[in-house]
Structure formats: C-alpha cells, structure tokens
Amino acid sequence: MFPARVEIGQKHKQQDEASSRASWNTPRSDTRSGMSYATRMASSFALTSVMTVLVLVGVVAVVWSGVFSDYTRANMTDIAQSTAQRLAQEYELNGAWSTSYLASVADSTLSSDDIGLQVVDAEGTILYDDSWPAAAMVGSTQGSSEPSSHSLISSAPTDAAASVTRDITLTDGAVVGQVRLWVFGSDALLSKADTAFRDRTFNAMFLASIIAVAISVIIGILVSRMLTNPLRRITGTAKQIRDGDLSARTGLKGDDEIDRLGETFDEMATSLEKDLKHERRITSDVAHELRTPLMAMLATVEAMQDGVLPADDEHLETVASETRRLSRLVQQMLDLSRMENRTAPLKLEQIDTVRFVRRIVDSQQQLFSDHDLRLRFSDDTQGRPSDIEADPDMVTQAVVNLMSNAMRYTPEGGWVVVSVRTSRRNVQIIVSDTGIGIAKEDLSRIFGRFWRADASRAREAGGLGVGLSVTKQIVERHHGYISVESELGKGTTFTIHLPREHTAEPSSSTIEH
C-alpha cells in the first residue's frame, strides 16, 4: 500500500477551503423582464425558417418562371415550324393559299383558342390574321378562292419577345412568306392553360412554404424546450441554493455541454455545501477555543473574589496560564491574517539551512522529552551547500509548526525526525513522524484554516488548527511549496521546498476579504 501524497504551494495553488463568502441565503427580487431564452431561440428558428423559405421560394419562382417561359416559347416555336411546313407544302402544290385553307390550318394546328396566327406573303402583305373580325374574313372569301390583302389593322404584337416568327421556305430554298404566332392578351407567349398551370404551381409553392415555416416553428419550439429544460433545471437549483437549500442538485448526467455544465454545477454545490458546513464548524470551534480560557479565568477570579479560593500563587498561575493560552490563540489568528494579507514584511538573510534547522531541533529536545517522544536531526546534504535566502523568523515558525503538529499526533514512545536535503535549485526541510497519519481524503484539506481531522483530540491537545495554514503561507511567501505524504497508522512526512534564491515580491500586495 503506497502512502497518499499531495503537494501544496507555488506549484499547486489552492484556495483556502474556508475563505470568507457573502451570504447565500439572502433573498433577491427578480425584476428582469423580456423574452426568455427559449422564446428567443424559437423566434430565431422561426425567423431563420421564414427567411430561408422566402429566399428559396424567390429563387425557385425566378428559375421556374424562366424555365417555363423557355418551355412555352419552345412549344410555340414547334407549332410555328410545323405550320410553316404545311403552308410550304400547300404552296408548292397550288402556288398560293386560299383564305379558307389558312383558316382551316389555324383551326387544326393551334392547340388553344387564345393563340393567334398571322400569315404574311413574301412582299409583307398580311394574308391571314386571327385578330381580324370574323365577318371580314368571311367577306374576303366570297366570289374568290384567293386571299386578298386587307386594309384592316392587325393587333398582333410587333415585339419579337411576344411572338414567334418562322419563314415559309420551299424545297428549293425560296422564302414565300412568314408565319407568326402569338397569344392574345399576353406578352410572354403564355396561353390561358399555361397561365393557369403556372399559377397553380406558384400557389402550391406558397402553400408548401407556409407548411414548411409552420413545421420549422413547431420543431424550433420543441428543440428550444429540449435544450433549455436543463438550463431551467440549473437555474432552479441555483435559486434553491441561493435561498438556503444547499442540498439541491440538478441531477444532470450526460456527455453534451449542458449536461457537463449541470454535473460541474452539482460538484460546485457539493463543494460549497462542505465549505459552508466547515465554516460553521470553524465558527463553533473558534468560539469554543476562546470561551474556554475566558470561562476558566472568570471562574477562578470570581472564586477568589468570593473567598472560595485563596488568591495565592497557585490560583494566580491558573489565571496567567489561561491568559497565555488565550493570547497564543489570538496570536495564531493574527499570524494567519498577516500571512494571507501579506502585511508581514520579509527580512531576508543568508541562512545555512543545516546549522539553522539543527539549532531549532536542539531547542525543542526538552519539550519532546517531556512528551516521551524521541526527536532526531539528520543531515542528508552529503556535504553539499545548503544556503538559502529567507526570513529566519518565518522559517523558524514554519518548522516549529510542523514539529508541534508531529508532537501532537505522535503517540508516546514515537519518533520525530527532522532532516535537510539539497537539490540543484531547492533545499528541502523534512519533518517525519511515526504518528497516527492522515486519511487520503483529508490530504487536500489539511492546509485549510482551522482544519483538524479529529476536532476533539486536537482541542484536547491544544491548538486552533491554523498552524499548517500559516506554514503554507510562509513557504509561499518564499516562493516555495510544501508537500505531504501520509499513511494511516504509519505516520506523516511534510517536506518544505525552498528555492536557493528568493525572487522579489511585487511592491503592492493584494488583501483578500
């Protein structure tokens, strides 16, 4: 079984678990108004669909109109060509066309009553025109089988785009006339049937576009609801937490971005719940730690005032002892505050780490002996230089904090070893003990303010639970980091990593609230 290990400090920055926060259960009024995200999303779907359909319908209408016009012109051209061929054959047989023959050709050839036919001879004389009145056409055939020219004005369009013209060409290549076709009342060669077909097509396209927009809007509403439901769950959960229900969770699980957001939110809520519970415990612990010496002093003083206890040195020492304990607790909190706010100035000096740490260990020998613990110093530098640039008082406080922590949680008869090692860039100060160890799940929290794995035992042993947090702040002020390895029942090893050269700090410090 491998010991658990965690590194805290310059390389692995972590925010304190119990940093101060604003109250989460302050009610807030929601005065915002306007469209919801789901409504905006559905509206965006609808607007996009309408714009897309309009563009598609416009493009299709233009293309369809062009294609349909080309089709009708090609169809009219075929009719004109076949009519010209019939008239050429008649001319080769009889040398001319009778008006009755031209009328019969018009009746048999043209597929619609609104298609007009005009026949012109080689000199440009109009021989037949569907726009002439029927009476004039009949009168022209009385007493003669030959067509004659008329003084009637033709209503056939003169624009080439509104009519189709084909030469009447004989087999020898001679042109004996022209055939012109047009549509009455139209400049686009569209018969009534063609126009009706085109209109039905456009109506069908319009109806299809309306159906497409309606379907798109429905799909947009469904999709927007599907996408925003998880967001509404997250919002609802956030409001529950804001109102004080720290157990509220979204319950979202999945692989998409919103589900991952929900999972992350739940993890944050769980961490927040733990932190707030920890803060409540801290408040209770601090109140208990401060109240205990105060109550002891008050009880002793009142007893002496009432004459229950004599005002002798023994009882005065009790008051003095509790006063010193209270002063020590307050000083620990002040030290932590100064370290976190970086208001404690660094007084850098060159330190021979081996000699420096050895003196600290020697000064603590008697204290460890009184607790029936064996304390030993080990020089593991193998003769390599161990000089660093650091604040001696702060480094002393950091090392003593680790040694005191080891003494507090190491049973009688146990060992505490303090050693110094060196590397190319760093010097390590190592404090190892054979104590009770730290659970793996607690390693990431041990440097938090007021953290104690066993509150009752720690309280009995003395201390407010800020020593490790102060040590971490001191090490980070020196641009180093601290790591810890521990295994339950076997002991713990703390290692302070300090750089050989100190990097200057910024002139302005940030105070965290």
Ranges 63-72, 288-297, 448-457: which has the least confidence: 448-457
Q: Which residues contact 165 (CB under 8 A, 6 or more apart)?
A: 80, 178, 179, 180, 181
Is residue 263 within 8 A of residue 253, CB to CB? The reply is yes
Phi-psi region of 185 (alpha: psi -120 to 50; beta: other; left: phi over 0): left
Average pLDDT over residues 446-466: 58
Last residue of a domain, one of 321, 343, 365: 343
User: Which tens digits make up the pLDDT trace of 295-308?
Assistant: 888 888 888 888 88
Q: What is the pLDDT of residue 460?
A: 47
What is the pLDDT of the chain when averaged over all its residues?
Answer: 79
Residues 143 and 255 in one domain: no
69 found inside a domain: yes
User: Which tens digits make up the pLDDT trace of 409-430?
Assistant: 999 999 999 999 998 889 999 9
Please give the Cα distance from 52 to 436 (Å, whole number). Answer: 72
13 found inside a domain: no
- DSSP for 317-386? HHHHHHHHHHHHHHHHHHHHHHHHHT-SPP--EEEEHHHHHHHHHHHHHHHHHHTT-EEEEEE-STT---
Longest dimension (CA), the chain: 164
Strand, helix or coil for residue 263 = helix
Q: Which of 195-209, 218-232, 319-333, 376-390 has the highest mean pLDDT?
A: 376-390
Ranges 45-54, 163-172, 320-329, 447-456: which has the least confidence: 447-456
Q: Higher confidence at residue 258 or residue 187? A: 258
Q: What is the pLDDT of residue 147?
A: 47
Rg (CA), the chain: 51
**486 to 14, 373, 459: CA distances (angstroms):** 19, 19, 22
Residues 85 and 102 in one domain: yes
Closest Cα to residue 421, out of 450, 459, 380? 380
Residues 349 and 339 in one domain: no
510 found inside a domain: no
The phi and psi torsions of 494 (rounded to 5 degrees) equal -105, 140
Question: Residue 444 gets which letter from DSSP?
Answer: G
Q: What is the pLDDT of residue 454?
A: 57
92 lies in which domain range?
Answer: 36-243
Residue 504: pLDDT band (50, 70, 90) is: low
**Residue 21 amino acid letter:** R
Please give the Cα distance from 184 to 116 (Å, whole number). Answer: 6
- DSSP for 105-165? HHHHH-SSTTEEEEEEETTS-EEEETTS-HHHHHHTTTT-SS-----PPP-----GGGEEE
7 found inside a domain: no
Q: What is the pLDDT of residue 201?
A: 84
Q: What is the pLDDT of residue 407?
A: 92
Residues 226 and 272 in one domain: no
Q: Is pLDDT above 60 for 432? A: yes
Q: How many CB atoms lie within 10 A of CB 231?
A: 16
Average pLDDT over residues 312-337: 80
Last residue of a domain, one of 191, 221, 243: 243
Please give the Cα distance from 442 to 274 (Å, whole number). Answer: 13
Residues 354 and 486 in one domain: yes
Place of tokens 């956030």: 238
Question: Residue 171 gets which letter from DSSP?
Answer: T
Closest Cα to residue 496, out of 398, 411, 403, 370? 398
Residues 284 and 337 in one domain: yes
Beta strand 481-487 with 374-379 is unpaired
**Token pair listed for 21:** 């926060």
Compute the C-alpha angle 257/258/264, nearest 5°: 90
Q: Is pLDDT above 90 for 213? A: no
CATH number at residue 262: 1.10.287.130
**395 to 349, 357, 390, 482: CA distances (angstroms):** 11, 9, 7, 13
Place of tokens 């497409």: 212
User: Which tens digits make up the pLDDT trace of 339-387?
Assistant: 666 667 788 999 999 999 999 999 999 999 999 999 999 999 988 999 9
Q: Which of 123-137, 206-220, 322-336 has the highest mean pLDDT?
A: 206-220
Residues 369 and 272 in one domain: no
509 found inside a domain: no
Q: What is the pLDDT of residue 6?
A: 52
Residues 180 and 281 in one domain: no
Please give the Cα distance from 448 to 39 (Å, whole number). Answer: 45
Residues 110 and 217 in one domain: yes
Last residue of a domain, one of 222, 243, 264: 243
Q: How many CB atoms lie within 10 A of CB 428?
A: 19
176 found inside a domain: yes
508 found inside a domain: no
Is residue 421 within 8 A of residue 428, CB to CB? The reply is yes
Average pLDDT over residues 316-331: 82
Is residue 439 within 8 A of residue 460, CB to CB? The reply is no
Please count the structural domains in the chain. 3
Q: What is the pLDDT of residue 441?
A: 83
Strand, helix or coil for residue 370 = helix
CATH number at residue 393: 3.30.565.10
Strand, helix or coil for residue 374 = strand
CA 413 to chain centre: 57
Q: What is the pLDDT of residue 4?
A: 52
> How would you list the strands of the sheet with 415-422, edge to edge?
4-9, 481-487, 491-499, 426-433, 415-422, 374-379
Residue 133: pLDDT band (50, 70, 90) is: low
Place of tokens 């293309």: 63
**204 to 193, 213, 301: CA distances (angstroms):** 16, 14, 102
Q: Higher confidence at residue 398 or residue 275? A: 398
Ranges 307-316, 389-398, 470-479: which has the least confidence: 307-316
Ranges 161-170, 180-189, 263-272, 361-370: which has the least confidence: 180-189
Q: Where are the beta strands (DSSP E) in 142-248?
A: 163-169, 175-183
**Residue 338 amino acid letter:** R
Average pLDDT over residues 316-343: 77
Please give the Cα distance from 440 to 4 (Å, whole number). Answer: 6
Residues 357 and 492 in one domain: yes
23 found inside a domain: no
Average pLDDT over residues 237-264: 88
